[in-house]
Structure 1
Amino acid sequence: MRSSVEIYTIASGKSRIVWQTEQLVEAPNWSPDGQSLVINGDGLLYRLPLAGGEPVLIDTGFARTCNNDHGISPDGKTIVISDKTEFGASTIYTLPAAGGVPKQVTQNRPSYWHGWSPDGKTLAYCGIRDQVFDIYTIPVEGGDETRLTFGEGRNDGPDYSPDGEWIYFNSSRPGRMQIWRIRPDGSDVTRVTDSEYGDWFPHPSPDGKHLLVISYDGDVFDHPRDLDVRLRLMDPDGGNARTLFELFGGQGTINVPNWSPDGREFAFVRYEPTVGN
């Protein structure tokens, strides 16, 4: 399987390849300075310079089983990771963006990070408690978690709007996975998409103009890898939805925030089957 890290430009409707590898890599974040992407592979994080060159390993200390739920803080100083090395179940940690010793944030697990608040003070994540998937927030320093959803279907993939007024997430409460949004205090739950697809991982653009989602065929409930999927763009309220392109991907393609700082482009991973010997 070949992993192709690519960037799509909204204005031109075209994508370009940044880097390819025969290894599995996933979930590109764009750095706030626009100079690099952070990706994960083999349980580790790497910084991929957009000016060219090979990815550089980021020191994550004891955390050696990072999954594809990671992200850079709005000020570019901190990386949040989800890792199971210490406890055997995904736990959220923060560490310096340049690398260093992870600091534990969540006590309850498993917890899978998905979004930074615009002010960098709060983390949004999916937590599984007694086999129930719900949306939670927690101060970046740690402490008590706040539960925003309460078991109405499976809830996952939270990401903040750029003004901090909404947290977008995907939920199966209508039967098929669709996009919803909720206020950070847990009020005003609103459905965003009503599509024939299974919609996952909503990412609002930093300029507030767009919402990007990955959409599976309607009969696919989870978010597996290695399927034909589509990336769809719409207004923040779900209007004017359109398919940008189809690709072979799924899990790992856009699990985490992936927009360029100016909202003109986004990064994603495409997977290509290769013929073995």
Structure 2
Amino acid sequence: MSVFKRVIKFLGLRAILLTSFAAFAAASGSAQADLTVDITGVGSNLYPIAIAPFTNEGTAPQQISAIVRADLQNSGRFSSIDAGSNPVSETDSVDLAGWKAKGAQAFVGGSVTKLANGDYDVRFRLYDTVKQESLGGLALTSSQNNLRMTAHKISDYIYQKLLGVRGAFATRLSYVQRVGNRYQLKISDSDGQNEHIALSSPEPIISPSWSPDGTKVAYVSFEKKKPIVYVHDLPTGKRVMISDQKGNNSAPAWSPDGRHLAVALTLTGNTQIYVVNSDGSGLRRLTQTGGIDTEPDFSPDGQSIYFTSDRGGQPQIYKMSAQGESAGGAQRVTFHGSYNTSPQISQDGKYLAYISRVGGGFKLYVQDLSSGDATALTDTTHDESPSFAANGQYILYATQSGGRAVLAAVSVDGTTHQILSVRGGDVSHPSWGPFMQ
């Protein structure tokens, strides 16, 4: 394989050079359509929960209880017990023994009140029907436009109280969609709703990467007929060119403190890893090899960088100090399979997600970094661009399903699978955002 072709593979451009994934059916043509979620597998030991309609939630444009119910069901960790159509507020007396008899181990009631200024007061209470006690609740004030995110925050509270792990419903996704002859960088809620276009371009956009505070996305744009790294401020829409060095500029990855980005550049020939300040200053080279070093990803503590390198002949995942190879060299991390790329580290530092070539296809794997054990999480063969949820419980990735280009998510234990279908064009390069500050 030529050096050029190897660089292209490492940049994650297979989809662009090979006409990306197959287009969706023509009948699904709206470019503004939201992403939809289909559960294709669920975990065992689901937590049965009943979520009653909230009192007066019909006065709001969003049905809070329905959003919470969908969040929990889509997580693959909960089963929904029919709570009927009668609203139950957070102050109502609840027959917890009766709900336990119906199979619910938890019950949720709440209310929505429209305030004089147009905002909404949203309250709820969570009950443990087995222990016959309240597990608390929240009172949240929300603008009309923020009601869905308010519902996601309620889902996060319930998830953490019942499962002991912080929920990631109140986070956002980014991904790239090709619609006709244009590429769109899209931002959505974690359930695919509230989708909007952050950038539209006639040239490819690839490799979006969220800043740690969730306010910015770094990405690679080809709008100047070459790959250039930008940082896009989502609240204002303003962006800054971070790296426009000679040759290719690719694979941006934020440091945990948001002060730096690691990038892959062909400044001196073969692709090597550099670090640059978040304003584009202070470029510094980190790797010094004659091969291809690319796809950097910082460890959660900011002390290490994982990356893809072919220094051993075939691409594998390596780890080095965030100060560069000169501070102690690089250690190979992956040993299962002969071709492994696209490293992503979970936020707790326990797991490595990556793409492995298996029998000519590309599959998502997860490796326990303490034991070295690696497990295939999918039965598809066109997997790309893994990205962990902020709570480390799920991995988002791009793949093909039924001849369609889709996003998908799988739990780290492999028991829960979701297909996230986006209508209107090819979809690729997903990235799951951090917890909102």
Bin of the TM-score, shorter chain as denominator length: 0.7 to 0.9
Aligned length: 243
2:190 to 44, 50, 67: 50
Aligned 8 A contact 1:136 1:148 in 2: yes
Q: Which moved more, 1:241-250 or 1:48-57?
A: 48-57
Q: Is residue 209 of structure 1 aligned with residue 342 of structure 2?
A: no
Q: Is residue 260 of structure 1 aligned with residue 389 of structure 2?
A: yes
Task: Pick the structure with greater CA Rg.
Answer: 2
Q: Is residue 40 of structure 1 aligned with residue 176 of structure 2?
A: yes
- Residue 296 of structure 2 aligns with an amino acid whose one-letter code is P
1:96-115 equivalences in 2 (<5 Å): 96-98=233-235, 100-109=237-246, 110-115=248-253
Distance 1:267 1:7, change over 3 A: farther
Q: Report the secondary structure of 1:249's partner residue.
A: coil
RMSD of the alignment, in Å?
3.0
Aligned 8 A contact 1:5 1:269 in 2: no
Distance 1:204 1:151 in 2: 23
With structure 2 as the length reference, what TM-score do the two structures score? Answer: 0.50
Q: Which residue of 2 aligns with 1:175?
A: 313
Distance 1:179 1:7 in 2: 32
Distance 1:176 1:214, change over 3 A: same
Q: Which residue of 2 aligns with 1:193?
A: 334
CA offsets 1:209-244 (integer angstroms, 9 cap, x no match):
1111110138xxxxxxxx622211112367112222
Q: Which has the higher strand share?
A: 1
Distance 2:253 2:38 in 1: 21
- Residue 78 of structure 1 aligns with an amino acid whose one-letter code is K
- Compute the displacement of 1:268 (Å): 1.1
Distance 1:143 1:52, change over 3 A: closer
Aligned 8 A contact 1:77 1:97 in 2: yes
Q: Percent identity?
A: 23
- Compute the displacement of 1:102 (Å): 2.1
With structure 1 as the length reference, what TM-score do the two structures score? Answer: 0.77
CA offsets 1:34-85 (integer angstroms, 9 cap, x no match):
432100123320113334547321146xx65343211110001111121121
- Residue 374 of structure 2 aligns with an amino acid whose one-letter code is A
- Residue 172 of structure 2 aligns with an amino acid whose one-letter code is S
Q: Which runs of 4+ in 1 moved over 4 A?
A: 2-8
Q: Which moved more, 1:163-172 or 1:262-271?
A: 262-271
Q: Report the secondary structure of 1:248's partner residue.
A: coil
- Residue 211 of structure 1 aligns with an amino acid whose one-letter code is L
Q: Is residue 75 of structure 1 aligned with residue 213 of structure 2?
A: yes
Aligned 8 A contact 1:82 1:93 in 2: yes
- Residue 198 of structure 1 aligns with an amino acid whose one-letter code is Y
Distance 1:7 1:68 in 2: 25
Distance 1:245 1:85, change over 3 A: same
Aligned 8 A contact 2:218 2:252 in 1: no
Distance 1:162 1:237 in 2: 15
Distance 2:308 2:291 in 1: 10
Structure 1 unaligned blocks of 5 or more: 18-31, 219-226
Aligned 8 A contact 2:351 2:368 in 1: yes
Aligned 8 A contact 2:219 2:252 in 1: no
Aligned 8 A contact 1:213 1:233 in 2: yes
2:259 to 102, 111, 121: 121
- Residue 248 of structure 1 aligns with an amino acid whose one-letter code is T
Greater relative CO, 1 or 2 (CA 8 Å, sep 6+):
1
Aligned 8 A contact 2:318 2:332 in 1: yes
Q: Is residue 249 of structure 1 aligned with residue 382 of structure 2?
A: yes
CA offsets 1:124-178 (integer angstroms, 9 cap, x no match):
1111124311111100011131111123421111000101111000111111111
Q: Which has the higher helix share?
A: 2
Structure 2 unaligned blocks of 5 or more: 1-21, 25-34, 45-73, 76-167, 405-437
Q: Is residue 272 of structure 1 aligned with residue 398 of structure 2?
A: no
Distance 2:38 2:237 in 1: 28
Q: Which residue of 2 aligns with 1:184?
A: 322
Aligned 8 A contact 2:170 2:189 in 1: no
CA offsets 1:4-33 (integer angstroms, 9 cap, x no match):
99799xx949xx79xxxxxxxxxxxxxx87
2:271 to 124, 127, 133: 133
CA offsets 1:169-193 (integer angstroms, 9 cap, x no match):
0111111111101111112211111
1:94 to 211, 214, 231: 231
Q: Report the secondary structure of 1:149's partner residue.
A: coil
Distance 1:197 1:247, change over 3 A: farther
Q: Report the secondary structure of 1:162's partner residue.
A: coil
